[in-house]
Structures are given as C-alpha cells and as structure tokens.
Amino acid sequence: MEKTMEKIVALAKARGFVYPGSEIYGGLANTWDYGNLGVELKNNVKRAWWQKFIMENQYNVGVDCAILMNPQTWVASGHLGGFSDPLMDCKECHERFRADKIIEDYAAEYNATLDGSVDGWSQEKMKQFIEDNNVPCPTCGKHNFTDIRQFNLMFKTFQGVTEDAKNTVYLRPETAQGIFVNFKNVQRTSRKKIPFGIGQVGKSFRNEITPGNFTFRTREFEQMELEFFCEPDTDLEWFAYWKQFCIDWLKTLGMKDEEMRVRDHDKEELSFYSKATTDIEFLFPFGWGELWGIADRTDYDLTQHQNISGQDLTYFDDQKNIRYVPYVIEPSLGADRVVLAFLCAAYDEEEIGEGDVRTVLHFHPALAPVKIGVLPLSKKLNEGAEKIFMELSRKYNCEFDDRGNIGKRYRRQDEIGTPFCITYDFESETDNCVTVRFRDSMDQERVAISDLDAYFADKFTF
C-alpha cells in the first residue's frame, strides 16, 4: 500500500475532514476549511493537548489572549525587526522562492553537505552557495536569480477608521507573546510559584513565502504553546523534562517511534538567545517535517518586555530570598500540523479478502471524530436504535446510520476512523443486547444495552 498525499487529501475532502477554502469562488490559495469531521478531530487534538498540558498538569494554567496586540509587543519580541525570510526571484520564470529552502532541497537531492543549518547563514553565504553550485530554479531549471532580500512575515492591518502608520497593527505571528505580556497578571491571579507554566491555544498568522503540502504550512494556522517559567540554572533540566513530556504525549496518542525523530539543533542553528532547541519531526508522505519546536529561550523574552515596557517583570522567591528574571522553556506545537500528522499516521489500506481492500483510519479512540456508530440492521428497528443513540450522544459524538447494507455501513465508519459500531438487530428486541464491532480487529462482541454506559466508560481515555 502506498500512502500518498493525493489519497489523504482526496479522502479528507470526500469525507468532510478538510475542504479547499472559499471553493465556490475558485478558492484562495493555501487556505483550508475543516469540515464536519475535521472540526471534531481538531477539537479532540486540542482537547488532548489541554488535558495533559493544562488540566492534569500540576504546574500549568491556561490563558486565551487577543490576536491584535500593542505593536510595541513586536518591537520587544524582535518580530518587527527580524522576523523575515530570505526571498529570491527567478528572473526567467518570475517564480518566487525562499533562498534557504532552495539550498536545503538542492543539498538533499545531490547529497551535498552543508556547513551547519542554512537557518543560521548570512544572505551573502546563501548567494555564494547558489553561485558556486550553480543551483537551478526548481521551476524552470535556469540559473538566473535576483539578489536575496529579507521579507517580513507579519500580516499588517489598521485599527480604527484611518489607515495611517499610527493605527498600524499586526496579526500575531505566534501565541507566545500574549503569555509573556501577561506573566505578572497570571502569576498574581493564579498564585503560582516558580516553576510554573502558562499555555495557550489559538490562531497565528504568517505571510509565508512558500506555503504548501496541504495544511502543513499555511498563512493562517493554530498553535498550542506552553511558556514554562523556571529559575535560572534549572532551565536545562526543565528543557529535558518538557522534551520527554512532548514525546510521551504523541506516543500515548498512538504515534509510533519509526514515524518520529528528535532533532537537536547544533550551535550554528540555535537562535542567539537560545541555550538548547529540539525539533520533534514526523515522517509525512512528502518527507520529514517539524511538528514541535522545544526551546530553552533563557530570560530573553521577559527581559526584552521589561526593557521596552519599563515594567518590572522580575520574580521574587520568598523562600530563597532572591529576585530574578525567570528563564523560559517553550514547547510550541502547530495544531493543524499535528492533526495532519495524526491523519497521515492513521491512514491505511488493508487487504481483508481476495481483492477486497478496506480503507481505514486507525485513530486513537480519544482522537476519533466519531466515537460510536449506531446502526440498526433494518429501518424497522430504528426506534430501539435511536434510544441507544440518544443516550450515548449525551457523552460521545455518535453517528446514526440506517442507510445501505450493514457491510457498507461498517466500511464507511472504518474510513472515517470510528473505533466502535453498535448494531441493533432483531434479536436486540428480545434479548436487550447489541453487537459491538471493533474497527481495527473487526471482531464483534455481544453486550447488554444496560451495560453500554459502563462498557464505554474507559474506552476513550488516554
């Protein structure tokens, strides 16, 4: 079975996971809308993150901050000055590229070794590499590029009725800054002592030069970020702790070792303020891609905000009688990216008889968009089946399907990743039992209707 993006994108559209954005107007490049199943899947992923990182975690609390922030925020964070990608055009076909990506792709194709990560290279060094290696344009194959220039990735807009510089605001390019500017507020109202963390889930916007690979890289996306504040000198321990925590989260939700790799940044690749950074990558059908960036950001962010805002952002440890600017460990995960990873990981085509292939999504039950399919064997049995549906729907997202033969209905539920189907048949009317069928093994089991509540109680936990 070959797992391709074409198959996954087609299934996503056909079954209601993800549609192309604004489709009736011919679309808008690289925008996507989550459909009836996609919204459930994405909500389940976000809920699973919130559950483990915020609800069950003794150290952390959550916030939900505004997308529009005082522009001074972006001066302090460095986004206004330095959040840009190296842009280059092909003079022949006028296609536009990121210079660093062309170099990386060229090196991968021709097995060329690079001097550290291209992320850390200067513009001159990139240009030199492209000239020395005679790197061709990926679109037309010619060798005639413009100079490299920096392109700021922030989306700009105006607040209020006049469109002038003093009304310029930016759509946030990450959720983290809402957390930093509220550090004191949250510390006071939650009465947390260091070490503690603040998490947030929400939209971010980046005017990416080369979006693509379905929902992997888009200009509007959602992030799940934690900023964990700790005492200086304890940062590397906490860095290791959160790195393992993130790996464990992915694994408990069914991600396999061979689909994941952990890539530590070497010295040249590290941002100037970072002591350690790791990417957790996933093997997508198009290759390895970053899912999660985990960084030791030292005291950079709070110090910057303290300097620019003039507000005191230090923390006083009344046990040790010391005052300091906390260090920060930041695990930052893209919600859309990890949803795509779970979708790719779940996708399977299984041969279950001669020439008989079923498409199935092996989602972890906690992530499955539909938890239980309720299927009356015949429409004559709808009344009894509907009662079960109504009862279970109070707790789980269920689907009621009375159309077509039962085999086809099972296959449809397999294809959307429903872990359990309940079949209500003629015997159910007298023995008060139903058949529960499992998606992965296709085994079946008879269960009393009165036991269903207890039966499912531990089936969707993780």
Closest CA to 414 of 396, 392, 399, 394: 399
Residue 34: what residue type? Y
Which region among 143-151, 157-165, 286-294, 309-317 touches ligand ATP (by CB under 6 A)?
286-294
Is 416 among the residues that bind ligand ATP (CB under 6 A)?
no
Is 409 among the residues that bind ligand ATP (CB under 6 A)?
no
Which region among 333-341, 370-378, 392-400, 421-429 touches ligand ATP (by CB under 6 A)?
333-341
Which region among 139-147, 218-226, 320-328, 449-457 touches ligand ATP (by CB under 6 A)?
218-226
Q: How far is the CB of 246 from ligand ATP (least distance, A)?
A: 11
Q: Which of residues 133-192 bind ligand ATP (CB under 6 A)?
A: none
Among 92, 104, 105, 208, binds ligand ATP (CB under 6 A): 208
In whole angstroms, what is the distance from residue 282 CA to residue 279 CA? 10
Which region among 330-338, 354-362, 366-374, 392-400 touches ligand ATP (by CB under 6 A)?
330-338
Residue 242 DSSP code: H
Which region among 287-295, 371-379, 386-394, 404-412 touches ligand ATP (by CB under 6 A)?
287-295
- 366: tokens are 């906690």
Q: Which is nearer to ligand ATP, 282 or 315 (CB)?
A: 282
Give the CB-nearest residue to ligand ATP: 334
Q: 3-class SS at 33?
A: strand
Per DSSP bridges, beta strands 155-158 and 196-205 are: unpaired
Number of residues that bind ligand ATP (CB under 6 A): 15
Is 293 among the residues that bind ligand ATP (CB under 6 A)?
yes
Judge whether 331 is annotated as a binding position.
yes
Q: Which of residues 222-241 bind ligand ATP (CB under 6 A)?
A: 223
Residue 215 CA, distance from chain mean position? 10
Is 38 among the residues that bind ligand ATP (CB under 6 A)?
no
Asked whether the CA dihedral 56, 303, 74, 160 is positive or negative, the reply is positive
Is 290 among the residues that bind ligand ATP (CB under 6 A)?
yes
86: preceding bond cis by omega (within 30 degrees): no
Q: How far is the CB of 80 from ligand ATP (least distance, A)?
A: 16
Residue 309 DSSP code: H
Among 98, 206, 265, 409, binds ligand ATP (CB under 6 A): 206
Q: How far is the CB of 98 from ligand ATP (least distance, A)?
A: 9
Q: CA–CA distance from 171 to each of 153, 204, 215, 252 (Å)?
A: 10, 7, 19, 34
Q: Which phi-psi region, left, alpha or beta, contains residue 455 (left: φ > 0; alpha: ψ -120 to 50)?
A: alpha
Q: How far is the CB of 201 from ligand ATP (least distance, A)?
A: 12
Closest CA to 274 of 133, 425, 416, 117: 117
Q: Which phi-psi region, left, alpha or beta, contains residue 160 (left: φ > 0; alpha: ψ -120 to 50)?
A: left
In whole angstroms, what is the distance from residue 151 CA to residue 265 CA? 24
Is 265 among the residues that bind ligand ATP (CB under 6 A)?
no
Is 291 among the residues that bind ligand ATP (CB under 6 A)?
yes
Q: How far is the CB of 373 from ligand ATP (least distance, A)?
A: 31
Is 97 among the residues that bind ligand ATP (CB under 6 A)?
no
Residue 128: what residue type? Q
Contacts of 12 (CB under 8 A, 6+ apart): 18, 38, 214, 343
Q: How far is the CB of 204 from ligand ATP (least distance, A)?
A: 7
Q: Which is nearer to ligand ATP, 224 or 366 (CB)?
A: 224
Judge whether 376 is annotated as a binding position.
no
Residue 439 DSSP code: T
In whole angstroms, what is the distance from residue 238 CA to residue 244 CA? 10
Residue in the structure block whose two tokens are 């209905």? 409
Q: Are 201 and 223 spatial neighbours (Cβ–Cβ below 8 Å)?
A: yes
Judge whether 383 is annotated as a binding position.
no
Q: Which is nearer to ligand ATP, 119 or 451 (CB)?
A: 119
Judge whether 57 is annotated as a binding position.
no
Judge whether 330 is annotated as a binding position.
yes
Q: Which is nearer to ligand ATP, 260 or 392 (CB)?
A: 260
Find the DSSP H helices in 368-427.
382-393, 406-415
Which region among 284-292, 349-357, 358-366, 372-380 touches ligand ATP (by CB under 6 A)?
284-292
Is 418 among the residues that bind ligand ATP (CB under 6 A)?
no
Q: Is 218 exposed, middle or buried (0-12, 13-18, 19+ CB in 10 A)?
A: buried
CB hemisphere CA count around 222 (13 angstroms) = 19
Annotated binding site for substrate: 98, 174, 221-225, 330-334
Annotated binding site for ATP: 206-208, 216-221, 290-291, 334-337
Binding residues vs ligand ATP (CB under 6 A): 206, 208, 217-218, 221, 223, 290-293, 332-334, 336-337
Annotated binding site: 98, 174, 206-208, 216-225, 290-291, 330-337
